[in-house]
Amino acid sequence: MKALPLAAVLAALLAQPAGAAGPAPGRTDLSPEDRERVTSITAPAADFSAAEPFEMMQAGATTIKKLLNADIFSHPSANLSFEGRQRFLVGNGLFRKDWVSSPSSTQASDGLGPLFNARSCQACHVKDGRGTVPGFDPLEQFDAVALLLRLSVPPVTEADRQKLTQEEIAFLPEPTYGVQLQNFSVAGLPTEGRMEISYEPVLVKLNGGETATLMKPTYRITDLGYGPMRDDVQISPRLAQPMIGLGLLESIHESDILANAAADHGDGISGKPNWVYDIRAGKKVLGRFNWKASQPTVEQQSAAAFHNDMGLSSPLFPDHYGDCRKPGQASCYDMPHGAQPHLGEHEVPARLMDFVTAYSTNLAVPQRRDPDDARVLAGKKLFYQANCIGCHTPKYVTSRNATQPEHQFQLIWPYTDMLLHDMGDGLADGVQEHDATGREWRTPPLWGIGLTATVNPNATYLHDGRARTLLEAVLWHGGEAQAARDRVVAMTPEERADLIRFLESL
């Protein structure tokens, strides 16, 4: 199956017969005729005897067909202009480069810290894919880089509660240690502490005589460098996610995401949006990124990572000292920062931030593998029958008004509703982030998931990397996904193998 040029894709899309469901509400970017046709082509599949039209091109005209190797997540979108590719390459260099502490002779690369989790974006997003957990064997665990611990405390005073009502406050940070534990520091400062993980095996019996072993993690913080934490501190582990297709996810029309929240998906599934503060817009908007949909745009997500993970300032997060806190970490503020007057007032000036954002929004999604394979099609049918699509919405047509022309009006297959769902006690972290409760997580996109090990052989799944296989990830589902999970448990071994084969084709 060959990838078609953009014009052919759009022509074929508009040639589809209109569906009986009627126009999708809220799509003001489309004509009434186009709305009916978009509604028709994005309807759930009903025929599993063959692949759907354009299913191989799961990211529309941005989809790439490249050699399947460790760099498969690191290519620019196929329809990116020459100028766009140039910006992408500059952003790639900034995404990969190691930052250093100040003062340094490399003045365009200093300012790291004073406290930090990683020296580069690529250190967490390995080859632009998933991060790596420190290890499941306690005797072989190494220092965490891609897995961090988010820290928060519950409100105990009226002043605390008032802070949470302010639109820009997602949660209350731990008073001394801030929003996350930083296990590295510049010379002359102690680190904040060290993450320790232990795992308890949990056996799950499956139909057909099979048994799966899940690994239940417990987290502990040791070697605190700045005194004790509050006794009621809440810890939420977060693993770096894949970077592909972010610009397309940003281009899904808001009304389509809100329609997912309003629809009846059965099984008690009731996804909800997370309304979060957009610094640039100065107001609350729909959250789309991060494990709890707590960031509204790729730009703000990237700037927050520079600030919290590497201690670097940018126009959206101008504090040169990152997540350092007074008075408990006052020694941080005695350290030099890396802002250079001749380069700009921030350690990551606006120009550089634009390049990183251009890179992050244009990392391409690879095309599907074997969508016509009989076992893949059987697995797809099982995916639908188990009601996995109740949360993992298969497809969209992006907005005609998307910021970037290459992302406009694309038929895409990300398999996410971009909403929050209660995932049960097993995955709960107890941390509220804006409207997301301690049991709720954003449905992660599934495109590219079959190439996870190709990009990073050590990568694992779920928000803290506890799932070593795709089947383990499914078996951890609870809450709103409990019924779908139980249907997978009840499948025959052959059916479960087909379901995994389908996921591996994405």
How confident is the prediction along the chain (506 residues), in pLDDT tens digits per residue?
A: 333 343 343 334 334 333 333 335 679 999 999 999 999 999 999 999 999 999 999 999 999 999 999 999 999 999 999 999 999 999 999 999 999 999 888 878 899 999 999 999 999 999 999 999 999 988 788 888 999 999 999 999 888 888 887 767 889 999 999 999 999 999 999 999 999 999 999 999 999 999 999 999 999 999 999 999 999 999 999 999 999 999 999 999 999 999 999 999 999 999 999 999 999 999 999 999 999 999 999 999 999 999 999 999 999 999 999 999 999 999 999 999 999 888 889 999 999 999 999 999 999 999 999 999 999 999 999 999 999 999 999 999 999 999 999 999 999 999 999 999 999 999 999 999 999 999 999 999 999 999 999 999 999 999 999 999 999 999 999 999 999 999 999 999 999 999 999 999 99
pLDDT, position 167? 62
- Structural tokens at position 381: 């049918």
pLDDT of residue 104: 85
| Chain CA centroid to CA 138, Å | 27
| Tokens 């996804």, residue located | 271
pLDDT at 6: 36
Give the per-residue pLDDT at 24. Answer: 52
Q: Which two tokens stand for residue 157?
A: 């005073």
Residue 189, classified by CB atoms within 10 Å of its CB into exposed (0-12), middle (13-18) or buried (19+), is buried
Count Cα atoms within 13 angstroms, Cβ side, for 349: 12
Q: Is residue 13 domain-resident?
A: no
Task: Give pLDDT, residue 169.
Answer: 82
For residue 138, give its domain range: 32-505
| CB of 339 closer than 8 Å to CB of 317 | no
Residue 343: per-residue pLDDT? 85
Residue 176: partners with Cβ closer than 8 Å, 6 or more residues away = 226, 227, 228, 229, 325, 328, 329
Continuous H helices in 413-492: 452-455, 470-475, 482-490
**How far is it, in rounded angstroms, from Cα 436 to Cα 81?**
38
Residue 464 lies in a domain: yes
| pLDDT score, position 194 | 96
Q: What is the per-residue pLDDT for 108?
A: 81
| Beta-bridge mates of residue 267 | none
Consecutive H or E run containing 353: helix 350-361
| Residues written for the chain | 506
Instruction: Kindly state the tokens that stand for 129.
Output: 């894919």
Question: Has residue 208 been placed in a domain?
Answer: yes
Single out the residue of 31, 25, 18, 2 nearest to residue 409, CA to CA. 31
Asked if residue 133 is part of any domain, the answer here is yes
Looking at the domain assignment, is residue 14 inside a domain?
no
Domain contains 12: no
Measured torsion, CA atoms of residues 196, 319, 105, 191, in degrees rounded to the nearest 10: -20
Please state, in angstroms and rounded to a whole number, the distance separating the CA atoms of residues 322 and 342: 21
Residues 6 or more apart whose Cβ sits within 8 Å of residue 403: 250, 251
Give the chain's domain count.
1
Which pLDDT belongs to residue 17?
35
Residue 137 has what pLDDT? 86
Q: How far apart are CA 174 and CA 154, in angstroms?
A: 9
For residue 400, CA distances in Å to 110, 244, 334 come to: 40, 21, 50
Q: Cα(481)–Cα(290) distance, rounded to whole angstroms?
A: 20
Q: What is the DSSP string of 254-289?
A: HHHHHHHHHS--STT---B--EEEETTTTEEEE--B
Residue 263 lies in a domain: yes
Answer for the pair 17, 246: CB distance below 8 angstroms, yes or no. Answer: no
Taking the CA atoms of residue 411, residue 417, residue 419 and residue 425 in that order, the dihedral angle to the nearest 10 degrees is: -150
In-domain check, residue 20: no
